[in-house]
């Protein structure tokens, strides 16, 4: 289902399902499989913070880290599609004061994120996707 969502989002220029429950904005994150080398497209919620796009590797609170984050982390770069814009990005795992501030903002935007923490002992990675310098 998420592959179809990602494809329809890209084809429609972000007009198809641009928002998730509670109005949280959606973009498509493109990564390359760290083992397969296959290009993957995953719809993810995001929060803007200046030029960065903040995403949460929650996997709906599952104990398993989502593959898109492992692929992005290992590659050190990926692409996002936001509406009709395609942007090359580099991930930065948030910690300290940045994580605290942006976690609060993310939960305010998407309260379900707080609920996900109850399902797992892992710390849910909060990641800033920053535009890459070409």
- For the chain, what are the domain ranges? 2-131
Note down pLDDT in tens along the chain; length 134 residues. 455 545 555 655 655 554 455 678 889 999 999 999 999 988 899 999 999 999 999 987 888 999 999 999 999 999 999 988 999 999 999 999 999 999 999 999 988 899 888 888 999 999 999 999 75
Of how many residues is the chain composed? 134
Residue 82 main-chain phi, psi, to 5 deg: -120, 110
SS (H, E, C) the chain: CHHHHHHHHHHCCCCCCCECHHHCEEEEEEEECCCCCCEEEEEEECEEECCEEEEECCHHHCCCCCHHHHHHHHHCCEEEEECCEEEEEEEEECCHHHHHHHHHHHHHHCCHHHHHCCCCCCCCCEEEEEECCC
Answer yes or no: are the C-beta atoms of 84 and 12 closer than 8 Å: no
CATH architecture of the domain formed by 2-131: Roll (2.30)
Per the structure block, which two tokens stand in for 111? 């309260």
């Amino acid at each position: 289902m998420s592959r179809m969502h990602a494809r329809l989002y890209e084809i429609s220029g972000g007009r198809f399902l641009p928002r998730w429950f509670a109005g949280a904005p959606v973009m498509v994150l493109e990564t390359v499989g760290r083992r397969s080398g296959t290009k993957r497209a995953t719809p993810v919620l995001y929060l803007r913070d200046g030029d960065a796009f903040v995403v949460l590797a929650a996997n709906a609170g599952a104990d398993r880290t989502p593959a898109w984050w492992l692929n992005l982390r290992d590659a050190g770069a990926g692409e996002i599609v936001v509406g009709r814009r395609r942007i090359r990005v580099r991930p930065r795992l948030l910690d300290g004061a940045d994580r605290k501030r942006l976690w609060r903002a993310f939960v305010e935007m998407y309260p379900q994120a707080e609920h996900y923490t109850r399902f797992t002992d892992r710390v849910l990675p909060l990641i800033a996707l920053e535009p890459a310098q070409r």
